[in-house]
Structure 1
């Protein structure tokens, strides 16, 4: 079950109480494939500012003797504590507990424990993707172990994609990508992917299979069926409700490291209203800069994000400018089944390899710099964005083999993948 927590940090003085909203899921730690997918969902237009999926539960979490800075927006946190909820409890008007909530601006905090459950936190821990695979599957990421798992995962992705090996190669790099740094206007490490040539018929087969496979592999996933109606009605932007003091969730308020699949195959001609234009702009901004704009009524504030974006479309997306565009070319349709042990090893692989640091030897860096300069001289259409993307792909390729430094072999492998991609685009 997904729990929507309103965090309250207290140092013993109720007048210094702080609060913060988080979205956590205790079932993440389950090792079964069914439980792994419980928190993955499809985003539909929200009906009301405080609308959550039906399987959510609101709760006040009281955290003691802990600095407020330990909790950050969109962190995933595991809480262990004492849960209290008594729907038959009668609260008198002068209850001392109400006095503590007078210092809080959130209306929900004023509700007695007979209305809103409390969780008195004893232990809490910020969770990362590598915390979800069971510890029994954790092994040292030795190159020969990683290479073996890589081959089996790549075979699985190839089968899911209808025997399109090239698409599987790019999908693997996409699943390993993450924001590593932000330098001026450049977001280092992101690698969004736009698979084109989908139709409504093919997306019902391969698109659904791909979405299901990703949900089985990653701890946080979201899917958006993008249509004109969705853009015109959905609440994508998080906003502050100054009357209640709450941050109203939007569909783009996602945990760091979330994978977002956007299906454009049902997009038809239509007119976007003002909300639709704003939502399209939010999605474009997230794709390009990995930031989400939050509305605080009197001003707007950009928050850093780390979201893997996969776009399924008939032609190149006009809304989402992905880093990579690749026509999808399946040749077979076959049932794809994966065993529990395989799934666990793939989950461990993706979580572990994705967190590996990346570096390159001075000799390799000098050689790559020289090749990039030559490439820009030979083809004036090649810009710094293209070269940064190739470098990111090369680093991800090295990481996919369990290596922490970029090698010449993997750089040449990426150049060959890029050549094949451009041939398919012709």
Structure 2
């Protein structure tokens, strides 16, 4: 019988027991899932499972249970494999049934052969996702997950490290020298089950999954969306409900780690075999290389459990819908007011004493495309669209009449040009949100960066781009570095794509012969000297109340002055409020309608549909920022006041400059 720890260290023993007890019944797979689901519900059990986000692959035992927090970057074609197969001993004619699920290589003894013609063979299907760490994930998020981990890991080879757990950032040598990883994996062959001549479990043309030797080809592109990203890319093999997942979803998967070096041997032998013909090997060499990379660089995870993540903030409960999470939310909401006041003061200092800009920055940081309803006001024949409540299905985005509602892109104009100010504002945002990226809008970046993902049909994969980001990522576009120059064709396409993301919250991926629309939910903050060249929902002109003699020292001291406990409250505040529901009562709806009609009577030229839409957005996020999930008369009036102050400032700046910002 398996010991208690086997479900972590040797999950195959658990699967084998369940398989043996339930075959030929077909429900053994369901019982495996239920077993591990119950195990992970035990106190802190999820923290016992080693994470590929935290621990280098060569520190993990092959065929052990691991987890991975990731984004689906691409989806490969489904593959067929032997879910159940039978081996036979030619000498004794003894037959044994085996399960092929969760495996890449068939298991059989040295005197056994697989009977490919057995009536017991069951061919099954699985889907492979190419997954990468969440793009732009903040350092504090990674550190918090590492701190919470109780996993005990040790090298899978004779090499003894100075500590039991290292992050990928501390393991750059292995990243730069993958041959060392391969050597270590080859040294751990004792942990691997296989035949004398291992057989792949896929029943489709096995020649379609060759490995190209790293020594004879260019370095493998791990296809991260953002430059400078670290961490593993994984081939995540999903066995059920894969239709519920889509590209760019953020997942947490629990499954069996496969880093079998035998795969490299098998693929190389197949590639070099003179018996292969053109029909058997229809995949290009590049496709083989991308779809079957070395397992030491791109490990496989055979998924037992997978779930979409509501968020990636480790300071919040993973699922806010559960009963035990409601106490956490209730307790935090009771102290919301002082947290908001402290955050407002902190951001006011960061924005050089501008409290109005700090107010709008808070509203921007808690904005999200998630709830909407269309109200129609008719005044002088005009149809005015505004926002109210309509809960959509989980995982979808709130879009009505094509225009996504709930987005709140802010253009912070008046920022110093060619200064470290925007860089430090971004560093502060990095410390507050779980995922972010600063896009420096220079002519060189626009002309040379790859913004839009495109399909590479030679390698049969989706080549990533900067705009392939997970939902709720904060994108800071730094326009202060933009100088005079000429945009080439690629630059024009990149700027257009950025504008479409802001306006429509979608990115049109390039599939060569057509474009495919991918909806997104990205918070965009634009910093600029004058009015941005890009569209925005709201322009706030910065009015510094102080000019520090040393900007670098001033900005750096802001973060060091904040207690870690207070900083964590800011992080919880911003993430939690994005997940709250929101509504407008019929009574307030009527009051807003009457107020708008009155505003139109008094100033029909300057009060437009856009003004109403923006004021309702400000009112919504203002309400949520104080923990109110419905609009009150007080918050509506405060929203109007903020908008009046913002517009007056823009008008004043227009008069100073003599032209429109």
- Range with greater deviation from structure 2 (221-230 or 82-91): 82-91
Cross-structure match for 1:179? 369
Q: Specify the SS of the correspondent of 2:330.
A: coil
1:31 aligns with 2:213: no
Seen in structure 2, the aligned counterparts of structure 1 residues 389 and 401 have a Cα distance that, compared at 3 Å, is same
5 Å-filtered alignment, 1:207-222, equals 207-222=422-437
Cross-structure match for 2:389? none
5 Å-filtered alignment, 1:18-417, equals 18-25=127-134, 28=141, 30-31=143-144, 50=223, 53=228, 55-64=230-239, 66-85=240-259, 91-93=265-267, 106-107=287-288, 108-111=290-293, 113=295, 116-129=298-311, 131-135=313-317, 138-140=328-330, 143-180=333-370, 181-200=398-417, 203-204=419-420, 206-318=421-533, 320-332=534-546, 333=548, 334=554, 335-337=557-559, 338-377=562-601, 378-417=603-642
The answer as to whether partners of 1:10 and 1:62 remain within 8 angstroms in 2 is no
1: CA distance, partners of 2:597 / 2:146: 47
- Range with greater deviation from structure 2 (69-78 or 410-419): 69-78
Alpha-carbon deviations, 1:303-335, whole Å to 9, x = none? Answer: 1111111011010011x1111111111223443
Q: TM-score normalised to the size of structure 1?
A: 0.86
Structure number with higher relative contact order (C-alpha < 8 Å, ≥ 6 residues apart): 1
Aligned residues: 410
Offset of 1:349 from its aligned partner?
1.1
Offset of 1:134 from its aligned partner?
4.7
2: CA distance, partners of 1:131 / 1:143: 17
Offset of 1:171 from its aligned partner?
0.3
Seen in structure 2, the aligned counterparts of structure 1 residues 131 and 297 have a Cα distance that, compared at 3 Å, is same
- Range with greater deviation from structure 2 (353-362 or 328-337): 328-337
Offset of 1:128 from its aligned partner?
2.3
The answer as to whether partners of 1:24 and 1:77 remain within 8 angstroms in 2 is no
The answer as to whether partners of 1:24 and 1:76 remain within 8 angstroms in 2 is no
Offset of 1:224 from its aligned partner?
0.4
CA RMSD of aligned residues (A): 3.3
* Structure with greater Cα Rg: 2
Seen in structure 2, the aligned counterparts of structure 1 residues 140 and 311 have a Cα distance that, compared at 3 Å, is same
Alpha-carbon deviations, 1:73-125, whole Å to 9, x = none? Answer: 21111223333335687513567xxx9x9899953223453664222233322
1:16 aligns with 2:122: no
Offset of 1:141 from its aligned partner?
5.8
The answer as to whether partners of 1:4 and 1:58 remain within 8 angstroms in 2 is no
Q: Specify the SS of the correspondent of 1:336.
A: helix
2: CA distance, partners of 1:187 / 1:270: 33
Q: Specify the SS of the correspondent of 2:512.
A: coil
Seen in structure 2, the aligned counterparts of structure 1 residues 355 and 84 have a Cα distance that, compared at 3 Å, is same
The answer as to whether partners of 1:4 and 1:59 remain within 8 angstroms in 2 is no
Structure 1 unaligned regions, length at least 5 = 40-47
Seen in structure 2, the aligned counterparts of structure 1 residues 374 and 297 have a Cα distance that, compared at 3 Å, is same
2: CA distance, partners of 1:375 / 1:185: 27
- Range with greater deviation from structure 2 (51-60 or 192-201): 51-60
Seen in structure 2, the aligned counterparts of structure 1 residues 208 and 102 have a Cα distance that, compared at 3 Å, is same
Offset of 1:361 from its aligned partner?
1.3
Seen in structure 2, the aligned counterparts of structure 1 residues 376 and 244 have a Cα distance that, compared at 3 Å, is farther
Q: Specify the SS of the correspondent of 2:234.
A: strand
- Range with greater deviation from structure 2 (84-93 or 350-359): 84-93
1: CA distance, partners of 2:260 / 2:131: 23
Cross-structure match for 1:45? none
The answer as to whether partners of 1:142 and 1:402 remain within 8 angstroms in 2 is no
2: CA distance, partners of 1:300 / 1:34: 43
